[in-house]
Chain A
Amino acid sequence: AQKITQTQPGMFVQEKEAVTLDCTYDTSDPSYGLFWYKQPSSGEMIFLIYQGSYDQQNATEGRYSLNFQKARKSANLVISASQLGDSAMYFCAMRDLNTGTASKLTFGTGTRLQVTL
């Protein structure tokens, strides 16, 4: 069975600073995908970034980067130059081909990020 763990229920960061949101995962499948989503208070889930288990380089998308450490089974999200609009809940998720269906995303419990002035 696959499992995603986000140990930080809440984080504060000052505007313009960088912040790292932690995510560890557990899977027995050598082939998997890792995703980060942002969920503002309005409720929509916004896809941020993807990392494949066989990708050689860490994924980056604008101010978002993924610090992928395969041996440690961690996939931390780094947000650089935080903005007030980054305040939201952030979910780490994984897709594992051993679930019986390649569609299933398993989510962590989320980290609520608050950006302050």
Chain B
Amino acid sequence: DAMVIQNPRYQVTQFGKPVTLSCSQTLNHNVMYWYQQKSSQAPKLLFHYYDKDFNNEADTPDNFQSRRPNTSFCFLDIRSPGLGDAAMYLCATSRQLGQGQPQHFGDGTRLSIL
């Protein structure tokens, strides 16, 4: 089945140690998104790619970076994770940026910081 796949489901890293979360999609969608969801809160958009065009949200910390080497893959890099970065990270895709296009989410990666 076509889907959005996030690896790993659970990631533990040390304070200040760089970590990369991965997302792949078989939907051939043009747009890929990264959301951060802290416990008992709504998801918050960090950034998105439309094809190769990167769009950062104004309030996304510089500590968070992203790469999209091809249509299928997108990575979230956290350069120096702090305790406040512990959260669920959700990857999503949509075919286009159109208003009515639903975003299809992966299962998420739950990041813990030691």
**A33-B99, A33-B100 as given contacts; A45 in contact with B105, CB under 8 Å:** yes
| Interface size, A (range) | 20 to 34
Q: Is B12 an interface residue (CB 8 A)?
A: no
Q: Tell me the nearest residue of chain B to A91, going by C-beta.
A: B42
In the assembled complex, the CB of A94 is this many whole angstroms from the nearest CB of chain B, namely 10
Q: Report the interface size for chain B: residues with CB under 8 A from the other chain.
A: 27
Judge whether B48 and A103 touch: CB under 8 Å.
yes
Cβ < 8 Å to B, chain A residues 67-96: 91, 95
| Binary A-proximity of B10-44 (CB < 8 A = 1, otherwise 0) | 00000000000000000000010100000001111
Q: Is B88 an interface residue (CB 8 A)?
A: yes
**A45-B43, A91-B42, A110-B42 as given contacts; A105 in contact with B99, CB under 8 Å:** no
**A31-B99, A35-B102 as given contacts; A45 in contact with B90, CB under 8 Å:** yes
In the assembled complex, the CB of B102 is this many whole angstroms from the nearest CB of chain A, namely 4
Interface residues of chain B, those whose CB is within 8 Å of chain A, are 31, 33, 41-45, 48, 50, 55, 57, 88, 90, 92, 94, 97-100, 102-108, 110
In the A-B complex, the 9 residue pairs with the closest CB atoms: A107-B42, A45-B105, A43-B108, A44-B107, A47-B102, A33-B99, A102-B97, A103-B48, A103-B97
